[in-house]
């Protein structure tokens, strides 16, 4: 029969057979003195350590082995049906998040700016600058002057931590 508990601590330790590192949760199950260690079994492709104070659903697999199969951090959901939010938190406050909207839009920490394909933008802008310099040089030469050329550097706008297809 599944039971619930409150997470009081965590550590990285060995699984039941001692062969793999896993997240071990210290969980208060019935009263303040009933603290038990359970292995957190998470979804494939997902790694997280639930915060202290979060609730966890515990299943007894064998008489000596319990696993935590899901947890809730008490932060109310803020997404619509069909959407997913992945976030980090500290003291019950969301710090960073990725929001997958049902429209297909992916938001990183809000929706105040747009991501661009930097390489394509840089290539297009440099082609424009080359063309502009060629035309201005021809115009200046035609009136007896010279055009020193201009350049454009947008490298400061590049965000190395975000990659797009």
Residue 63 counted as domain residue: yes
123: pLDDT strictly greater than 90: yes
**How many other C-beta atoms are found inside a 10 Å radius of the C-beta of residue 26?**
16
Is residue 112, in this structure, part of any structural domain at all?
Answer: no
Residue 85 forms part of a structural domain:
no
Residue 34: the pLDDT is 84
Q: Strand pairing partners for 87?
A: 97
Integer Cα distance of 122 and 62 in angstroms: 59
Q: In the listed set 72, 92, 110, which residue is the last one of a domain according to the structure? A: 72
Query: Token pair for residue 137?
Result: 């040089």
pLDDT at 8: 93
Residue 33, pLDDT score: 80
Same domain, 7 and 66: yes
Percentage with pLDDT > 70 across the chain: 99
Write out pLDDT tens, residues 33-89.
888 899 998 877 777 888 888 899 999 888 888 888 888 877 877 888 889 888 888
Q: Tell me what percent of the residues of the chain surpass a pLDDT of 90.
A: 31
Residue 147 lies in a domain: yes
Tell whether 8 and 68 lie within a shared domain: yes
Same domain (yes/no): 13, 67: yes
Give how many domains the chain has, as a whole number. 2
If we measure between CA atoms, which residue out of 64, 58, 72 comes closest to residue 26? 58
State which residues form the domain around 55. 3-72
Instruction: From 66, 75, 72, 73, select the one nearest 3 (Cα to Cα).
Output: 66
- What is residue 108's predicted lDDT score, i.e. its pLDDT? 87
């Amino acid at each position: 029969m599944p039971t619930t508990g409150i997470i009081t601590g965590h550590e990285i330790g060995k699984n039941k057979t001692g062969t793999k590192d896993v997240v071990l949760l210290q969980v208060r199950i019935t009263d303040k003195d009933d603290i038990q260690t359970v292995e957190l079994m998470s979804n494939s492709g997902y790694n997280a350590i639930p915060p202290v104070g979060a609730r966890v659903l515990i299943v007894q697999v064998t008489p000596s082995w319990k696993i935590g199969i899901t947890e809730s951090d008490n932060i109310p959901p803020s997404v619509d049906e069909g959407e997913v939010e992945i976030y980090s938190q500290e003291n019950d406050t969301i710090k960073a998040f990725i929001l997958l909207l049902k429209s297909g839009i992916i938001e990183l920490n809000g929706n105040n700016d747009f991501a661009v394909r930097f390489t394509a933008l840089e290539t297009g802008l440099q082609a424009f600058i080359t063309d502009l310099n060629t035309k201005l040089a021809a115009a200046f030469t035609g009136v007896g002057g010279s055009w020193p050329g201009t350049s454009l550097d947008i490298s400061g706008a590049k965000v190395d931590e975000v990659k797009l297809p």
